[in-house]
Amino acid sequence: MRKNFRVETWVIVLVIVFAIISGTLYGALIINHFKKQILNPATTTQSPNRFEKLEKVAVFIGMIPNNFLLIIKGETNPNKIQDLSEDLKQKPIFKRFINSNREELLILPRYDGNLNRSIVEVIDLNSFEVLHTYKHDVNSVNKHIDTSKEKFERFKIDHSENRFHYDHPLILSDGSLIVHVGHSPLFKMDICSKILWINQEDRFHHSIMLDREKNIWVATSMFPYSKFIHQHKKVWVNFEDDAITKVSLEGKILYRKSVSEILIEHGMIGLNLFNSKDPIHMNDIEPAFNDTKYWKKDDLFLSLRNLSSIIHYRPSANKIINYIQGPFFQQHDVDIISDKEISILNNNNNFLKNSKYSEVLIYNFETKSFSKKIESELKENNFKTVTQGLAETLADGSIMIEDTDHGRLIFFNNKGEKEWEFINKDDNGDIYFVNWSRIIKEKSLILNIKEKIKNKKCNV
């Protein structure tokens, strides 16, 4: 009897020791995973992660209870926003505070909870009337995606009809759209949402911008890797080799350059670049249309989130003109707003400082100084978008901000007064993401788009 008791005691002790060791290792894997998500990858000095697969398993196990609850609640749609304040939940879909007379158009990519899919709307900013809606046949297009390629092997799963979302659609004078769905092929559709071409050479992501020669600048994740990254690819698995890429309106890649290589060639960063899978995270490319005292036409301004920096780059000379850092952290959306100023949406994710609100910053090249725009108004409206977001400034000084993380747009006039607010709600009051809207300001383009919409002949 005593012998059996001793055996049972040892078994219990071993089980307890095993549980403690397993729990400690599990906790270490979880902590290491989320530590990398929080810290700035450009400043971390961790070694290449040999336990990446184990970390993914640990995170998956840890998320099982939460995912199970979401399934029970029917809240598994990744485009539905879960973390919302009660104040936002109580707001109406659209509210106008000040009447105005505006000619501009809003191109609004949003997830429609009623339709259970993403759409793109062309909206009259004066009346907020929806003039036209784009929504292509997702399933038929997905059949053309080559999922045998490693970079698109999960495409049909991650971008099925009820999961995909249009990102930053670019509308052209013939009413066609050029768009991607985030780390996906780039494609063009006509005004009736018929697909005209698909480019599957790279994974395209974030902003889509037209330059003065009517070519498109868009970020890509190069795969296969660029030459230098390919030589060191064993350091990190699934390294994000972000590149600036120029594409013609016919869908042909005209130019491509790895941002990692640009930085290495200029001595801005060394092999410590490979301390993270995603050290660059380029989220915007802004082309210059004119020569000024501070830049030349065709120069590019690149927003590199994970380096918390803006790069002023000249592709024609492969030269970094300015490397801009300042009072911003993990920023998005750099825009040229005058002949000597750029605006920067500061997500303000600096955990060491007061970062309760996101900000719109203006950098002046003449004074080499920063200033804040509509600071008190953004605080009053509790504007904090941790990821993504944008700020679009109009010629008269008014500004629209997109609070991507909370599915809302707010428009302020040049006095800082709120003209209107839009919340992307469905009929049940649930809120869904908006995905990088844009305002059309050019009068000729506005007239062409309206004319194409008026005369469209689409099969319903």
pLDDT at residue 65, as a whole number: 57
- Does 34 or 120 have the greater pLDDT score? 120
Asked if the model's pLDDT at residue 302 lies above 80, the reply is yes
- 3-state secondary structure at position 278: coil
Both tokens assigned to 76: 């598994």
Per-residue pLDDT tens digits for 407-460: 999 999 999 999 999 999 999 999 999 999 999 999 999 999 999 999 999 986
String of DSSP letters for 126-150: TT--EEEEE---HHHHHTTS-TTSG
What value does the mean pLDDT take over residues 225-234?
Answer: 74
pLDDT at residue 42, as a whole number: 39
Asked if the model's pLDDT at residue 68 lies above 50, the reply is no
What value does the mean pLDDT take over residues 59-83?
Answer: 60
Element (H, E) at 380: helix 375-380
pLDDT at residue 236, as a whole number: 57
- The whole-angstrom separation of Cα 257 and Cα 244 is 5
Half-sphere exposure at residue 286, Cβ-oriented, CA atoms within 13 angstroms: 21
Beta bridge partners of 322: 312
Asked if the model's pLDDT at residue 77 lies above 90, the reply is no
The residue whose two tokens read 């010629």 is 395
In sequence order, which residues have a C-beta less than 8 Å from that of residue 13 and are 6 or more positions away? none
Asked if the model's pLDDT at residue 378 lies above 50, the reply is yes
pLDDT at residue 349, as a whole number: 92
Asked if the model's pLDDT at residue 149 lies above 70, the reply is yes
CA dihedral over 358, 362, 363, 369, signed as positive or negative: negative
Q: Which of 13-27, 309-323, 348-362 has the highest mean pLDDT?
A: 309-323
Predicted TM-score (pTM) of this structure? 0.84
- 3-state secondary structure at position 260: helix
pLDDT at residue 61, as a whole number: 60
